[in-house]
């Protein structure tokens, strides 16, 4: 079903405008049949921009931040319908590794958001929370830092505080 029809279906059930990040009509989403279990996707969803697809329940595991708590959460694929189908996957990014526990999975999703340059706020959170990959390898985030030069000083301070003095020491 085209996204506009799904949007109208959700709207007819009383879903408020903006409660789901609906797709741009020029950007088709991937159907359930096109999604591969255990892969990381760039998504439009209520609470995230990245998610790992779970074929068993047709959902995406996301890293959710709510009231300063960061935790794993599942949101269902758009095609599962109202009221829980809130995710439109746009692009498969990579095969996710097998995780030893949920804490590792959460860290992977948080770091993937940074690797793929999802949003400035993710970079700010990584610096504030001293995400190791950012502190060890700031060169990987050089493009984001060029776009947001005001964050360079905060990154340098966090690196120094954690014992990373230069990019050569990792």
Rounded CA-CA distance 55/52 in Å is 10
The pLDDT of residue 126: 67
Alpha-carbon span 141 to 87, nearest angstrom: 27
Q: What is the pLDDT of residue 24?
A: 41
Which segments of the chain have a pLDDT < 70? 1-27, 117-126, 129, 131-133, 140, 165-170
- Check: pTM over 0.85? Answer yes or no: no
pLDDT of residue 66: 85
How far apart (Å, rounded) are the C-alpha atoms in residues 49 and 41? 8
């Amino acid at each position: 079903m085209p996204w506009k029809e799904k949007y109208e279906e959700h709207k007819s059930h009383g879903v408020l405008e903006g409660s789901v990040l609906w797709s741009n009509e020029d950007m088709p989403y991937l159907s359930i049949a096109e999604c591969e279990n255990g892969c990381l996707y760039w998504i439009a969803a209520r609470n995230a921009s990245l998610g790992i697809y779970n074929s068993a329940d047709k959902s995406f595991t996301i890293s959710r931040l709510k009231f300063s708590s960061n935790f794993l959460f599942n949101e269902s694929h758009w095609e599962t319908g109202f009221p829980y189908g809130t995710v439109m996957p746009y692009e498969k990014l990579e095969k996710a590794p097998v995780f030893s526990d949920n804490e590792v999975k959460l860290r992977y999703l948080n770091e993937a958001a940074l690797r793929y340059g999802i949003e400035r706020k993710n970079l700010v959170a990584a610096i504030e929370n001293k995400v190791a990959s950012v502190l060890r390898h700031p060169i990987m985030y050089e493009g984001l830092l060029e776009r947001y030069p005001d964050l360079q000083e905060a990154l340098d301070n966090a690196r120094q505080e954690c014992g990373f003095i230069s990019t050569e020491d990792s």
